[in-house]
Structure 1
Amino acid sequence: MRHSAPRGRFKRLACLGAVATLAVLGFTAPAQAAAPIPGVDEIASSSNIRQIANVPKTGAFAPESALNSDLAFQGKYAFAGNYNGFTVYDVSNPRTPVSVTQVVCPGGQNDISVYGNLLFTATDSIRNDDSCNSVAVPNTEPEGTPRWEGIRIWDISDPRNPRYVKSVHTTCGSHTLTLVPGKGKDKNKALYVYVSSYNTSSASLPNCALPHDKISIVKVPLKKPTAAAIAATPVLFPDGGFPGDPNSTATSGCHDITAYPEKDLAAGACMGDGVLFDISNPVAPKVVTTVRDAENFAFWHSATFNNDATKIVFTDELGGGGGATCNPTVGSQKGADAIYAIQGKGKKAKLVFQSYFKIPRENTSTENCVAHNGSLIPVPGRDIIVQAWYQGGISVWDFTDAKKPKEIAYWERGPLAADRLIVGGSWSAYWYNGHIYSNDIQKGLDVLKVDDRRLGKTDKQRAWQINPQTQTSYRKW
């Protein structure tokens, strides 16, 4: 979901409330495969996957309104975002993860990434300043009222004691962020942060005027992160991008960008457009090609390359992550994944649609369920991904045959309540060093283990650092 707290723009609801995009519910499809729907807090799964640990939310993160968000990994630590800050877990023993520190620093979504001794969090709600004691500022406050949103930079030389060192204000805030290492003279000296943000509701919102067809790129000197500053604000859609229609969101920025730096490529999920970028010059990304799907995609939300960068899985966050869209009424092609092949090279590359994938299980009307964040599982010669579906649970599926994707494992909880929809479920589900880690919005950190011959010896593979929105070839691990 990558939710955001409401603040007047529809972008805040594009990840939190069902609201406008649920107009697409008029679509009817054949009933999905029948399967028992688990009861409140019951667990259901395929026989080849099991939960081995859970660490509940605590302290300032315990309230229902304090939503858990994204994950990143480095060494023996998992870094887990929450709308009120972030938690650092020691996962050296995946069966007994330990929370070693909780940093309280409100500012949804607190989307999170790590690089070396630096950690980055995204703030996409207007605050009165950049401190961790800041408070939200309503849109109705008069012009001249202090306002801040953007990215925060932390020193994690000691992961148990993160130190806040710098903030950078960005136009329209930072809904998500993506790290791109420097090249050439900047190699090992600088890091670029692609800041994705957007506006879908008003031309006169503070700090987020329309048109907003750009991203912000922050340059971070690795030896002096306090000198981090905006390096460029490239306009990606000079023609305005997709204008929108009753079923699909207009483009006015990007929700998320996944970079594959060693391939000089990035994939953008930009509201009404799916985008392939050339990032051979990290400070000047160029649009190679775009695709649209006004019939079935309501909101292009996120993207994942396969390991060879010959395919992209795009997600559609129908209903903004707050709606019950995993049911026969909505059908199998809305709120789903779309697999595209990258055909051709360089400036001639095109994205060619292959198929849709959606979990083949029905959820109740009190469960928010839609395609969300996932990552590759490093199986040589295969394209296998683990993915979060909010209260639809966690799905492991194979898209080696892009026209015939197939689920090979799943794990889910039943609804949080039978009488009302509580926003919950798995926000992000990622593979790291032989296990699946899920940051559940309400239930905390889950650790799962898959035992399936189709995954080969993935439990033997080790990565030192993983930010799923900055992909690296697993053949180099």
Structure 2
Amino acid sequence: MGKVHHARKLARVLAAITGILCLTAMGVFVAPAAVAERDGTPGVDEIVHSHDLRQVANIPKQPPFDTEDAYGTDIAFTKGHAIVGNYDGFVIYDVRNPYRPRVVSQVLCPGGQNDVSVHGDLLILSTDYARSNDSCASEPMPAANPQAWEGIKVFDISDLARPRYVASVRTDCGSHTHTMVPGKRNRSLYVYVSSYSPAPELPHCQPPHDRISIVEVPLRKPADARLVAEPVLFPDGGNAGGTNPDGTRRSATSGCHDLTAYPEKKLLAGACMGDGVLIDIRKPLRPRVINRVQDNVNFAFWHSATFNNAGTKVVFTDELGGGGLPTCNATFGPERGADGIYDITGRGANRKLEFRSYFKLPRHQAENENCVAHNGSLVPVWGRDIMVQAWYQGGVSVWDFTDSANPVQIAYWERGPLSETELVVGGSWSAYYYNGYVYSSDIQKGLDVLNLVDWRTLPAKLVRFDEFNPQTQPRYGWR
């Protein structure tokens, strides 16, 4: 088996190198250091892109997920399949042929955001909208009702065509997003649950909500999933919130929006509303905050985080306006609703997050396009820090932050607005690189598949992951 594996790997490498040489000879990879976007706003549904990032497929949302309120959300990948969350459930796509993706199954299970993660034959689903019970036939219910349910659901996806619901766990304030951390000896899975916005009238979301929830899912008996810890991250309450110098509101910290784990480095990065946090997870049930940072000038809402491959940097996103505002314009400028790039300096318990620069889409979007920094992942290029990222109706951007102080865009792809006269919430919720292609979950337009063919990212075409969860970052490299 070993010789066959290496022979196949060598064949793939040689084929890729041959293709690279041929395309280089045709001038495909002659590109400037940075990509300047075309002036002007594209028309409704018009697609514009750089020469090195092109669409190869789209599957529109299918019934019953084809309504305007059925937002497409996050993506996880397993066995050549993309699993895309939706406010009304989730969809499993076969993307082994990226040019001809197909729907394998759809599960109707309302309870936004329905962010997803996969581990082996298990799918984890986040529910952050109060429901009448934990079933997939539940109805909306006011969160102030003591009977209301929010939390995580666990599905068996050993048969991708027939997912099976096996467990649920209620968590305080629901589960807006979640992050997986494998347990020791692969016997269990720890699910770190992010939630926020407590209020005195909410029986299952009481202030102060200064913590996260950790659910343990036994891999042999996932039906026995249970809440095992609720570690406090902000004993002092975190950022108190307030008003930034330009008059916009800054969120107070009352929980976390998103956590990203780098298990090999035993690190977790927390985007926690008003705080950016670096966390030691060598003891998974007792995470320890190493360093916290705030940006009380430009950041409004710390939304998500991405490590570089070396584990020496973190990119935090600022979801100014909650994803529903047109912030990619001259009014908000280049440092609001942007990414913040932080280097990790020092060692051990003395590590610190040091701010280096901001990155934001270089071209202004229309006033009827919701646009702000959102979910992305690394493009696996050894020795460089390159990221693909969603910007809602700002589309998809590929940018290089190898020089932390001077990030630069190298590719882009986007659609024009959904309407000429009004702002309809839409665009790319998540854009991730998986096995040679970029997959974008569009809130209204379904699944887009993009081919990134640029000389700076070509080595990524050779990197393969059977399973990929962007919020549980794997390490990549040539072995």
Q: Same fold (TM over 0.5)?
A: yes
Match of 1:399 in 2: 401
| 1:263 aligns to 2:261 (yes or no) | no
Matched, 1:434 2:436: yes
Partner secondary structure for residue 338 of structure 1: strand
Q: 1:116 is matched with which residue?
A: 120
Query: Aligned partners of 1:457 and 1:315: how far apart in 2?
Result: 26
Residue identity (%):
60
Does residue 60 (structure 1) correspond to residue 64 (structure 2)? The answer is yes
Partner of 2:20: none
- 1:18-417 superposed matches below 5 A: 35-139=39-143, 141=145, 144=146, 146-183=147-184, 187-199=185-197, 202-246=199-243, 247-417=249-419
Q: Which runs of 5+ in 1 are unaligned?
A: 1-31
Residue 203 of structure 1 aligns with an amino acid whose one-letter code is: P
Does the 8 Å CA contact 1:213/1:236 hold for their aligned counterparts? yes
SS at match of 1:61: coil
- Deviations 1:350-396 (Å, cap 9, x if unpaired)? 00000000000111111000000000001011000000000000000
Residue identity matched to 2:178: L
Q: In the aligned structure 2, how far is the partner of 1:403 from the partner of 1:456?
A: 24
Aligned mates of 1:300, 1:214 — CA distance in 2: 16
The Cα offsets for residues 199-233 of structure 1, whole Å up to 9 and x where unpaired, read as 06x33223111100000000111000011101100
Q: With CA pairs under 8 Å and 6+ residues apart, which has the higher RCO, 1 or 2?
A: 1
1:396-435 Cα deviation digits (max 9, x unpaired): 0000000000000000000000111111000000000000
In structure 2, C-alpha distance between the alignment counterparts of 1:55 and 1:221, rounded to whole Å: 35
How far did residue 140 of structure 1 move?
A: 5.7
SS at 2:418's partner residue?
Answer: coil
Cα deviation, 1:214-270, whole Å, max 9, x if unaligned, reads 000001110000111011001110000000002210001000000001101000000
Any stretches of 5+ residues in structure 2 without a counterpart?
A: 1-35, 244-248
SS at match of 2:264: helix
Q: Which whole-Å CA distance do the structure 1 matches of 2:478 and 2:408 have between them?
A: 27
Partner of 1:462: 464
CA distance in 1, matches of 2:99, 2:40: 28
Q: Return the offset for 1:457.
A: 2.3
Q: What SS does the aligned partner of 2:186 have?
A: coil
Q: Distance in 1 between matches of 2:148 and 2:455?
A: 53
8 Å CA contact 2:393, 2:428 repeated in 1: yes
Residue 147 of structure 1 and its aligned partner are, at CA, apart by: 1.2
Would the aligned equivalents of 2:378 and 2:386 in 1 still touch at CA under 8 Å? yes
Deviations, residues 185-207 of structure 1 (Å, cap 9, x unaligned): xx21011000000006x332231
Cα distance in 1 for partners of 2:356, 2:143 equals 42
Instruction: Give the Cα–Cα distance (whole angstroms) in 1 for the partners of residues 297 and 132 of structure 2.
Output: 40
TM-score, L = length of structure 1? 0.91
Aligned length: 439
**Residue 54 (structure 1) shift:** 0.0
Letter of the structure 1 residue corresponding to residue 77 of structure 2: F
Q: Runs ≥4 in structure 1, deviation > 4 angstroms?
A: none
User: Looking at CA atoms only, which structure, 1 or 2, has the larger radius of gyration?
Assistant: 2
Tell me the distance in 1 between the aligned counterparts of 2:200 and 2:474: 38
CA distance in 1, matches of 2:477, 2:216: 28
Cα distance in structure 1, aligned partners of 2:225 and 2:143 = 28
